[in-house]
Structure 1
Amino acid sequence: MSINRRRSRVASVVAGIGIVAVLVAGCSRGGAEPDGDGGAAAASPGITDTTITLGMTTPLSGGTAGPGTCTVAGLKAYFGNVNAAGGIEFGDGKTRTVEIKALDDEYDPQKAKANYDQLKGSVFAMTAGLGTPTNRAWREAAIADEVPQVLIQTGDPLFSNKEESPWQLGFVPVYQNEGEAFGELLAGAGGEHKVAILSQNDDYGEGYVEGFKSAIEGADNIEIVKELTYEATDTSVDAQLTELAASGADVLFNAMSITPLVISSLQKVQEIGWLPSLFLPSNTSSPTAILEPGGAAALPAVYTVSFAKTPQSPAFAEDEDVVTFLSDLAEYADYPEAPAFPHCMWSYMIGATLEQVFTKMTEPTREDFMAQLRTISDFEAPLMLPGTSVDTTEDDQPAVSTVQVIKYNGKGYEAVESWDE
């Protein structure tokens, strides 16, 4: 089931590819103006004639370390391959290799802001980092500093508002879009359904619920019987699940972002004898890291959404994109196993998208980078599912705005067109 909305819609450690100290060519913050002799524009920080350095702040430890580590691994895998082949020929005719500086924020907004402050003077752009609260923590500073904060892994619509965030662009579909996909699937189902909702008490959770409710509005076969929230800092949601189970709901919309809590919630519903069908966000629906430990195969059905091929799926075992990706992941990111989280695939796609932008840049400036970033249309990045693509040309939209509903089959996921318990 493919969903593509045209309104606002709804994924300190230093790691890198040959991390080195970067000599900054030019000292202006953006330097788009020609020099006094009418020559080329002065280079922004983080780019020389031979290298470009990208910065990341992302969780590499703590409860979201699994997905966070993937954000770095995918980017390292993609650019490791590119660098080994000699680098990227930019639009200005110069060939550059890509370096990555990644710092651990532990999914803590204050640490994320400190990481940004540490990196902003030595990197050309910030990219691929995971988290809504952590990316929000330094958004205003990035705008003031005119530092690109782009293709980040948050579904917060704020980052795709060009007028309010001229130096930002999200990568993954906005949370409302995912919520809508779930709602549309259920609205098209036969029979009566009672829904219980457990969501994170922030913009992440609110976005999912907003999208879901908008899609089921007017659907006579669906009733939301109970809604509860939890805090991202909570260590247990047992009390909420017990209360939700008492509602008699046959569907649980579990809009959670914390990996250990998702696993424990799957275990808890079975412990108390409640077996609802389940909707999970794309970033917390890993078959191997979440569903298997949580015993999800015991539930009637588990649905999520995706725009990336799943390496564990038999359907993609010999897929050329997947084979290359896994090889790059093992060789250049020291990640020899199939990734447990989709963020590895997403950041690999981000690398491919950035390469598209670099080849268009005729000036070594952040301004030209942002201008060229907004010109990518219908780009089928490696690992994208058929029918999905990267499009950065739409106002108020992230780079990816199309998702497919998929269903857990006990090992991996398969595409679905309709509700099927």
Structure 2
Amino acid sequence: MRFVTASTAFALSALLLNAGASAQDQPGITESEIRIGQTMPYSGPVSAFGILGKGEVAYFKMVNDRGGINGRKINLISLDDGYVPPKTVEQTRRLIESDEVAFIFSSMGTAHNTAIAKYLQSKKIPQLFIASGASKFGDVTQYPFAVMGVMAPFRNEARMYARYVIEKKPDATFAVLAQNDDFGRDYLAGLKDILGDRFEGAVTAAMYEVTEPTIDSQIVKLKATNANALIIAATPKFAAQAIRKTYEIGWQPMRFLSNVSVWISSVMEPAGLEAGIGIVSTAYVKDPLDPAWTDDPGIKEWRAYMAKYVPDGDIRDSNYINGYNNGMVLEHILRAAGNDLGRENIMKQALSIRNLELPLLLPGIKVDTAQNDHFPVEQVQFMRFTGKQWERFGEVQSTK
């Protein structure tokens, strides 16, 4: 599957005004176009995540309809990788070597971005706003040309859950359902950061592969530990299964859900709304269904955007919010780059964001980056599922 935002040439006079000499001969850059690429799981076991790519394509269609950025239209080439890392590599090479994109933007998946990182880093090609919260992508020594997405790091989220549980029960034990890759292992690392020497005796993990049909056996195994807290570090399909199975077998620990799987339409409803009551997660974006934001200008503008550019989109799916935020941050970077659209300057601008407020981030949460800080968002707020919606509680706090 291929989604492309069309690029249309401007009048020659506009081109002459907007095309700087520094833009010539840069990959993916012409007098009328900025060509960028990404891979998304439009098919496969986590196709629900493909919504992110659809939202980003729609965002840049809106930008192009408004005249583009600095006289150029954005051509986002979004290719399906089926959530299979070798396919991610194949499609990324195609984007770089055949489509000649300027950089990679918001490709989905932890293992998938890992698979392409060495290739991109060796060529000094920016790997911007990776659609993964894996903390390793913030390691500036290993991934100098990568920037994490506009989301809280997984490891930091796990630290918050650990602190929350220990405040209520200092000798608590933890059960963790985790995907068997860096995504899942980040949650274990976060628990170890807080538990220290207690980790080995206090934590039991059950790993799963994305190719498995069900994780029911893992949940039954974890219940046998009588753990006080269950952390579900899973993608939507398996998160829904975990919530349902926990409910069916009558296990009632404190439950925590990775914020990548908090969607009502694709997780909570399939699991059964009653099964999710009391689950805790974290939020960094506004929920358009929360009455608190009914008259919020940012939400109103986003709803108008959705009605025009994604009329069939489910507004309950926060991937559309995330796609909008990612698009807005990239637009900020490209405008700041002006006509110097070489990869070096794009990377420089991506690491020079200061106190950027986005209309769909929760109040108090801002986007910040620096040469030694590749984590754009490091604040969240707790939220709890009521059986109908997520309700936030407590203050916005740092995840560090």
TM, length-normalised to structure 1: 0.84
Distance in structure 1 (CA, Å) of the matches to 2:264 and 2:197: 33
1:138 aligned residue (106, 113, 116): 116
Q: Which runs of structure 2 are paired with 1:241-390 in the superposition (5 Å)?
A: 241-257=219-235, 259-299=236-276, 301-340=278-317, 342-361=318-337, 362-390=339-367
Shift of the 250–176 alpha-carbon distance from structure 1 to 2, 3 Å rule, reads same
Distance in structure 2 (CA, Å) of the matches to 1:159 and 1:348: 22
Distance in structure 1 (CA, Å) of the matches to 2:271 and 2:44: 19
Shift of the 335–184 alpha-carbon distance from structure 1 to 2, 3 Å rule, reads farther
Q: Contact 2:264 / 2:316 at 8 angstroms: preserved in 1? A: no
1:84 aligned residue (65, 75, 94): 65
3-state SS of paired residue (1:74): helix
Distance in structure 2 (CA, Å) of the matches to 1:19 and 1:327: 23
Distance in structure 1 (CA, Å) of the matches to 2:104 and 2:325: 16
Shift of the 156–88 alpha-carbon distance from structure 1 to 2, 3 Å rule, reads same
1:51 aligned residue (8, 12, 33): 33
Q: Is there any run of 5+ residues in structure 1 with no aligned partner, and where?
A: 1-12, 22-38, 90-94
Q: Which runs of structure 2 are paired with 1:79-158 in the superposition (5 Å)?
A: 79-89=60-70, 95-121=71-97, 122-158=100-136
Q: Contact 1:108 / 1:134 at 8 angstroms: preserved in 2? A: yes
**What CA deviation, in whole Å up to 9, does each residue of 1:183-205 have, x standing for no partner?**
12222225864422221222111
Q: Contact 1:277 / 1:300 at 8 angstroms: preserved in 2? A: no
3-state SS of paired residue (1:318): coil
Residue 211 of structure 1: aligned partner = 190
Distance in structure 2 (CA, Å) of the matches to 1:239 and 1:400: 35
3-state SS of paired residue (2:4): coil
Q: Contact 1:77 / 1:325 at 8 angstroms: preserved in 2? A: no
Within the alignment, does 1:15 sit opposite 2:6 as a pair? no
Residue 180 of structure 2: aligned partner = 201
Q: Contact 1:406 / 1:415 at 8 angstroms: preserved in 2? A: yes
Distance in structure 1 (CA, Å) of the matches to 2:294 and 2:44: 31
Structure 2 counterpart of 1:105, which letter?
D
Deviation of the 1:251 alpha carbon: 2.1
3-state SS of paired residue (2:62): helix
Q: Contact 1:157 / 1:396 at 8 angstroms: preserved in 2? A: no
Q: Contact 2:174 / 2:203 at 8 angstroms: preserved in 1? A: yes
3-state SS of paired residue (2:79): strand
Residue 5 of structure 1: aligned partner = none
Residue 43 of structure 2: aligned partner = 61
Deviation of the 1:219 alpha carbon: 9.1
Distance in structure 2 (CA, Å) of the matches to 1:60 and 1:330: 22
Distance in structure 2 (CA, Å) of the matches to 1:192 and 1:145: 49
Q: How many residues align?
A: 381
Residue 164 of structure 1: aligned partner = 142
1:180 aligned residue (159, 164, 170): 159
Q: Contact 2:351 / 2:373 at 8 angstroms: preserved in 1? A: no
Deviation of the 1:134 alpha carbon: 0.9
Distance in structure 2 (CA, Å) of the matches to 1:63 and 1:317: 34
Q: Contact 2:179 / 2:234 at 8 angstroms: preserved in 1? A: yes
TM, length-normalised to structure 2: 0.88
Q: Contact 2:277 / 2:387 at 8 angstroms: preserved in 1? A: no
**What CA deviation, in whole Å up to 9, does each residue of 1:292-321 have, x standing for no partner?**
221253355201112111122222233221
Distance in structure 2 (CA, Å) of the matches to 1:239 and 1:334: 40
Q: Contact 2:45 / 2:211 at 8 angstroms: preserved in 1? A: no
Shift of the 315–106 alpha-carbon distance from structure 1 to 2, 3 Å rule, reads same
Q: Contact 2:174 / 2:202 at 8 angstroms: preserved in 1? A: yes
Distance in structure 2 (CA, Å) of the matches to 1:189 and 1:417: 15
3-state SS of paired residue (1:78): helix
Structure 2 counterpart of 1:208, which letter?
Y
With a CA cutoff of 8 Å and minimum separation of 6, indicate the structure with the bigger relative contact order: 1
More helix by share: 2
Identity, in percent, stands at 28
